[in-house]
Amino acid sequence: VPTDLSTGIETLKEKLLTMASYSEAAVNHAVKALMKRDDDLARQTREDDEIIDRLEMEIDAVSADLLTAQPDLFAIRFIIMAMKIAHDLERVGDEATTISRRCLELSREPVLPQVNEIPVIGRLALQMLKESLDAFVQQEPLKARDIIRSDDQVDDLNKRLRSELERIMIGNPASVPRCLNLMVISKSLERVADHATNIAEMVVYLYEGRDIRHSS
């Protein structure tokens, strides 16, 4: 564990970006596994999740250590942000695991056409996640603020799919288990977008020193 402050900050940055690419990949694989009905790919997502969990713990350990090195105010903010982003990324990994588990159930049953809505929501959520990390790397709080605004779009898509699935369940009770699985997957992707929003809020906190949570 590094004790030198600037080396430590670099370590945190690298670990965050590694973690981000694993989390993005996990969600990507989970959605792909769903669409291709690829159980092996779905199972692989769970292994990614263990790496993601370990990275969060490493980031927290480096952060606690760095805080003993008398960081200045910006470094303190950076470290706090690193821990918070790591937590959100860890939760993204959990959502990917949830999606994968539901994939395994869905691939044993006939396809419901509503599954085609999932990659649409997935693409938007993953784009928000990617952009929130870009805003962090490029130090662009204004970009981060844009991302926060697109969260409503994902919420709307999720709500619309939810209502449609509810309607289908009522009309065709045999589809209930499949509809429930799709609902959980859609909700998971909506949560991925929520985590991207949290990350974007942290980028604003870091570069503007302003806590904009709960302000909308």
What is the contact surface with a second copy in residues (CB under 8 A)? 50, 53-54, 56-57, 60-61, 63-64, 67-68, 70-73, 76-77, 80, 83-84, 87, 166, 169-171, 173-174, 176-177, 180, 183, 211, 213-214
Of 77 and 145, which has the nearer Cβ to a second copy?
A: 77
| Shortest reach from residue 178's CB to a second copy, in Å | 11
Rounded to 5 degrees, φ, ψ at 93 are -60, -40
| Shortest reach from residue 206's CB to a second copy, in Å | 11
CB neighbour list of residue 209: distance below 8 Å, 6 or more residues apart = 77
Of 120 and 170, which has the nearer Cβ to a second copy?
A: 170
Of 57 and 137, which has the nearer Cβ to a second copy?
A: 57
| Residue 214, phi-psi category: left (phi > 0), alpha (psi -120 to 50), beta (remainder) | left
| Shortest reach from residue 185's CB to a second copy, in Å | 14
| Shortest reach from residue 67's CB to a second copy, in Å | 5
Of 40 and 70, which has the nearer Cβ to a second copy?
A: 70
Cα–Cα distance for residue pair 125/150, rounded to 1 Å: 9
| Shortest reach from residue 88's CB to a second copy, in Å | 10
Of 113 and 171, which has the nearer Cβ to a second copy?
A: 171
